[in-house]
Structure 1
């Protein structure tokens, strides 16, 4: 009996690590938003071990590169995964080590579609000094120091951000941006300026 109980508790612990602590049965991506799963864009398996975590924050990033209107979301995600899983040069000349997978959990493309990136059960990666464990990382395509958020992206974010906060019981004051935790301009001035409105939307949930 003792051995059976130990096995039951071990299995329960394993299962708890496999599912983010959701407080809603609603789908991850709300109805009306185009969603591309890892299987649909042809994701490769992670190439390194990843850290399990529990989601307590929602943190917004931008890709920091120009928006690409004529390239498919699947192609963008495959390229991002390739860059992520290899040792790659950064814009400032530093070399990024190979990461296990795409560093973010969800990718919002220029047309407002959402791509599934890293498994939500595992902490993301960063080339800055903050620890992204506990952060649900949403990256928005574009360099918002130089570009404007598209109407389609804004429409998606206005629905997606409060829906994610509701699903994972993330309060409005735990919605932030990359620059709140590290020395960086990410997610760019124009997107960062929208965070107070996103917090208001989360507060109304």
Structure 2
């Protein structure tokens, strides 16, 4: 004769199987998602348009994301696009940037961690998780412990930098910087690549919020945007003091 425990088990097992069969299927995320740590942030997360929303080609991503330590520095870039674009066209523009970075530059994915358009909209760039310290391909020699934010446009001398764009950059920078980082201050980073302004292994004292030209021989992010970096630093500091 079966024991009472076995009888109860026989009754419960079919019910468990039924519940499992009717439960929603949990599909595993792509390999580049949910791998790195979730670091603390210095300010509330702003609204960010996801890769899925702008139509990133995940099949184009060559390798799973790599992760670094908490963000200690922000590098500001520009993409080189004409400034008169319609903000409704930005998803198409970002897909073109991703294709150029992968097929033209030979990178694993779009290089920037985030892109901000002239309307102030913030877009997720490189894959790996918006809230995670994803290692980008934006600042040769200094991709570790940093985040790359690209302004969509060209900001040569005489160009106008839209206020909404500045505000968008400040919001994502204030959020991504690790707690305790001083947006008005400097940070000591060590170069990992001889092609930067600093030889591999050489320390560099850089602004916590720097332009790409501070670490690499380039005109990026353009004179007009570079001149706005002090104002952006102040905006980031105010956001983190709230």
Structure-2-length-normalised TM-score: 0.63
Instruction: After TM superposition, give the deviation of residue 75 of structure 1 in Å.
Output: 0.8
Matched, 1:121 2:127: no
Work out whether residues 43 and 174 of structure 2, in 8 Å CA contact, stay in contact via their aligned partners in 1.
Answer: no
**SS of the residue aligned with 1:156?**
helix
2:154 to 117, 131, 143: 143
How far apart are the structure 1 equivalents of 2:141 and 2:42?
29
Instruction: After TM superposition, give the deviation of residue 158 of structure 1 in Å.
Output: 4.2
Residues 203, 158 of structure 1: alpha-carbon distance in 2 compared, 3 angstrom cutoff: closer
Please, which runs of 5 or more residues in structure 2 have no aligned partner?
Answer: 1-33, 186-207
Name 1:51's counterpart in structure 2.
Answer: 66
Please, which runs of 5 or more residues in structure 1 have no aligned partner?
Answer: 1-15, 89-95
Please show how residues 1-205 of structure 1 align to structure 2 within 5 Å. 18-23=36-41, 26=44, 28-29=45-46, 35-45=48-58, 46-54=61-69, 55-70=71-86, 72-86=89-103, 88=104, 96=105, 98-118=106-126, 119=128, 120-126=132-138, 129-146=140-157, 147-165=159-177, 169-172=180-183, 173=185, 174-204=208-238, 205=241
Output the aligned Cα RMSD: 2.6
**SS of the residue aligned with 2:115?**
strand
How far apart are the structure 2 equivalents of 1:82 and 1:68?
22
Instruction: After TM superposition, give the deviation of residue 168 of structure 1 in Å.
Output: 5.2
Instruction: After TM superposition, give the deviation of residue 184 of structure 1 in Å.
Output: 0.8
Higher relative contact order (CA 8 A, sep 6+): 1
Work out whether residues 48 and 99 of structure 1, in 8 Å CA contact, stay in contact via their aligned partners in 2.
Answer: no
Residue-pair matches, total: 175
How far apart are the structure 1 equivalents of 2:164 and 2:237?
23
**SS of the residue aligned with 1:199?**
helix
Structure-1-length-normalised TM-score: 0.73
